[in-house]
Amino acid sequence: MSWQVFFHSLVGSGFVDKAAIFDNKGASVWATSQGFTVSPKEMEAIVTSFQPVKEDELKEIQASGFFVGGEKFVALRSDDSRLYGKKGKEGIIIVKTKQALLIAHYPETVQPGSATNTVETLGEYLSKLGY
């Protein structure tokens, strides 16, 4: 499968300025924007955020935020397959599917809802394909 096609559907949308697609454990990069990196430590925190916690516990990522590409984001919402972060007017949307992890950054000139819809739609499509 050519992951570049899916990668280009994110960045080519005009709502995402940089993105990466990893396996859902964060161990292997399948496609990425040039210069857009996620360190192993950053990836570990992201992958851990998708693990369930007790109902009365706050996920660590929600309390302290998270980093992508060396930039800190405030966690707005997190569940077992999605993580949303914001830094000023820009943000990060992370969607986990059965096999993939989509990480997309949107700039301050983009409405968060437009970027979110783009990333979530691709995530749903990949899930339907078994990914």
**Per residue, what are the HEC states of the chain?**
CCHHHHHHHHHCCCCCCEEEEEECCCCCEEEECCCCCCCHHHHHHHHHHCCCCCCCCCCHHHHHCEEECCEEEEEEEECCCEEEEEECCEEEEEEECCCEEEEEEECCCCCHHHHHHHHHHHHHHHHHCCC
Is residue 1's pLDDT more than 70? no
pLDDT at 73 over 70: yes
Taking residues 14-35, what's their average pLDDT? 94
pTM of the model: 0.93
CATH number for domain 3-50+59-128, candidates 3.30.930.10, 3.30.450.30, 3.30.465.10, 2.40.170.20: 3.30.450.30
Is residue 8 scored above 90 in pLDDT?
Answer: no
Is the model more confident about 18 or about 3? 18
> Over 70: is that where the pLDDT of 124 sits?
yes
